Amino acid sequence: MDTENVSQYLSLYHGTSISTPVFARLLREFGTLNSVRNLPQQQLLSLGFAIAQIVDLQGGQQDTAVRQLVERDLIWAACPQNSIVTYESRYYPALLKEIQCPPPLLYVVGQKSKLITPQFAIVGSRKSSNYGKRNAYWMANELSQAGLTICSGMAKGIDSHAHQGALDAACPTIAVVGTGADRIYPACNSRLAQQISMEGAIVSEFPLGTAPLTYNFPRRNRIISGMSLGTLVVEASAKSGSLITSRFAMEQNRDVFAFPGPITSQTSRGCHSLIKDGAKLVEKPEDILEELGLDLRHTPPGEEQAGGDSSGLEQKQQDSIHLEQQILRTMGYQGCVMQVLLEDTGIGLQQLNMQLLQLEMRGRIITEAGRYFRIN
């Protein structure tokens, strides 16, 4: 970490004379903070800056409160798992620089290198159905194996299942939060947050210690869409916050995808509205990958070309078929609940969820009132 450069960013960031949108516009226009600071005073005056603002821009004396905040942040960033990524850092996501108001800096817990991998956003309702949760998990699991880093907001419901789908594929995932990066919200996601920070990253533009204030979450949504090649809305009501993310994505000229759902479900209305307005309807991961010009792969690039033995893949396919047959036999045509499937098959919860989702998408089973039914 370039402590001096980061310190200069933090001084302006915590100061009160230059707002974040103004700071962002200056960085977009001139590229680096040093370039801004070296601008002639007359040019800054012509841009509308007051003398006091120019003094701050050019590194004037910090007041005590700002100096204490800068020192606190630098101490936090000195911990091995923490980072402060500035606009001109090589770890700052390139796509994020293209949005109208890119954050001047990002607080990161975890692997900052994951911020520059190809990202794809999956968002949706906090009050999601089992149908939505399974689809979010499935999409994230498949897309992450295809080489995309799943980006979401670590909220309950769809976001959490998207993150978990990526983690269960042993792939990184990024959570953009509406609090300080040092706070976990909601508290029930503390274990998930720990997993994300180990394999991927938790990201925030808000100062350390920032509480979960309602008006911060729509603001963080522009970062989720801004970092990503596209955004998939899995489940959303007509007034869902997820639609804010999709609107940002459209304004940022990114692809927007939507997952259809039952026409009687309130949480399908937002997705159906998006599809009517031109969002791309998604039925399977390949629909997204084809639109983005990517291939669905489950092995690292080059492994097959290197002459790797295909028997491992064939064995996995046989194991999957065996598990499906075991699940269908246990389920029968009379239906059963999840607990019965867990106890009778002995399959782990995450693996069972994945198998059930695949069976449902292929039309082999349906769910009604919390029970699973075999239909063919």
What is the full per-residue pLDDT of the chain (376 aa) written as tens digits? 567 789 999 999 999 889 999 999 999 999 999 999 999 999 999 989 999 899 888 877 778 999 999 999 999 999 999 999 999 999 999 999 999 899 999 999 999 999 999 999 999 999 888 889 999 999 999 999 999 999 999 999 999 999 999 999 999 999 999 999 999 999 999 999 999 999 999 999 999 999 999 999 999 999 999 999 999 999 988 878 889 999 999 999 999 999 998 888 888 899 999 999 999 999 999 999 999 987 655 433 333 333 444 455 456 566 677 788 888 888 877 778 887 888 888 887 767 877 887 777 667 787 776 678 887 6
The Cα–Cα gap between 220 and 144 comes to 22
* Assigned token pair, 133: 């949760």
Q: Where are any strands of DSSP class E within the chain?
A: 82-86, 105-110, 119-123, 149-152, 173-176, 201-204, 230-233, 255-258, 280-281, 336-337, 365-368, 371-374
Which domains are delineated in the chain? Answer: 1-78 (no CATH), 113-292 (3.40.50.450), 311-374 (1.10.10)
pTM exceeds 0.85 for this model = no
- CA 121, CA 151: separation in Å to the nearest integer? 5
**Is the distance from CB of 25 to CB of 47 less than 8 angstroms?**
no
CA distances from 371 to 33, 135, 324, 361 (A): 58, 17, 17, 16
Confidence at residue 365, expressed as pLDDT on a 0 to 100 scale: 82
Residue whose C-alpha is closest to residue 15's, from 70, 84, 71: 70
**pLDDT in the model for residue 301:** 34
Backbone region of residue 358 per phi and psi (left: phi > 0; alpha: psi in -120 to 50; beta: other values): alpha
Give residue 20's Cα distance to chain centre. 22
Rounded Cα–Cα distance for residues 222 and 244 (Å) = 8
Helix %, strand %, coil % for the chain, to 5? Answer: 50, 15, 40
pLDDT at site 71: 96
Q: How far apart are CA 246 and CA 272, in angstroms?
A: 13
